[in-house]
A and B are shown apart, each in its own frame.
Chain A
Amino acid sequence: AQSVAQPEDQVNVAEGNPLTVKCTYSVSGNPYLFWYVQYPNRGLQFLLKYITGDNLVKGSYGFEAEFNKSQTSFHLKKPSALVSDSALYFCAVRDQNTGGFKTIFGAGTRLFVKA
């Protein structure tokens, strides 16, 4: 069965500092991995994804994530946080081998960036 864990309910970081939002996953086959962001009263917005190839993927708004197969992790990172990055971040996984489109989301991590 597929699952996603985001071990931190909340991450606090000062503006200008690097940020990391952690995600680990479990699938029976190879994963498709995604990060989405949710601002208040809005739907989820796609940030980036890992399909295959280079383990470091770059996405919107300066975010990047590193796929680590041995640690089954896909942590979201940004070198320099902005106050406007404050939002709820969801990691998601889909199993490449199931052939379906069921996407499993983590519980979300709330990011607070302090000025």
Chain B
Amino acid sequence: EPEVTQTPSHQVTQMGQEVILRCVPISNHLYFYWYRQILGQKVEFLVSFYNNEISEKSEIFDDQFSVERPDGSNFTLKIRSTKLEDSAMYFCASSEQASGGNEQFFGPGTRLTVL
């Protein structure tokens, strides 16, 4: 069964450093998303991406964040200058079609620890 994959599984970084989290969505999916889950808290929407541009973003997704689909398979989330409060589990997701009723398929997540 096709699945979303994410690398690395765990990333430790120093405050102020840049990190890139990588995701490989399911191959025939067209919509891509990033969510984060701070330990013990709810899953929060960050951004959705379609046709090589951001389709929607939350207030969390400020200028420190960016997303990119550098090739036909990868989808990345970059945090330019990490802060302690960026420590969280980051989930990538993808969905097949344009209809908003399509469910999203989630990757296993990357645990980001900012020291």
Contact = CB atoms under 8 A, between A and B. Distances in A.
Interface of A: 32, 34, 36, 41-46, 49, 51-52, 90, 94, 96, 99-108
Contacts of A102: 45, 48, 56, 58
A96 to B, nearest CB: 6
Contacts of B101: 32, 49, 51-52, 94, 96
Contact of A44 (B48, B56, B91): B91
Contacts, number: 63
Question: Which 7 residue pairs are nearest across A and B when measured between Cβ atoms?
Answer: A43-B106, A51-B101, A105-B43, A100-B56, A46-B103, A44-B106, A101-B48
B51 interface: no
A51 B99 CA distance: 10
B64 interface: no
A99 B31 CA distance: 13
28 contacts: A36-B106, A41-B108, A42-B108, A43-B4, A43-B107, A43-B108, A43-B109, A44-B93, A46-B104, A46-B105, A49-B103, A90-B42, A90-B43, A94-B100, A100-B55, A100-B56, A100-B100, A101-B33, A101-B48, A101-B100, A102-B48, A102-B58, A103-B104, A104-B45, A105-B43, A105-B44, A105-B45, A108-B42
Q: How large is the interface on B (under 10, 10 to 19, 20 to 34, 35 or more residues)?
A: 20 to 34
Consensus secondary structure, chain B interface: strand
A101 B95 contact: yes
Contacts of B50: 101
A43 B91 contact: yes
Interface of B: 4, 31, 33, 35, 41-45, 48, 50, 55-56, 58, 91, 93, 95, 100-101, 103-109
A45 B106 CA distance: 7
Contacts of A51: 101
A106 B45 CA distance: 11
B60 to A, nearest CB: 11
Nearest to B109: A43
Nearest to B3: A43
Nearest to A90: B43
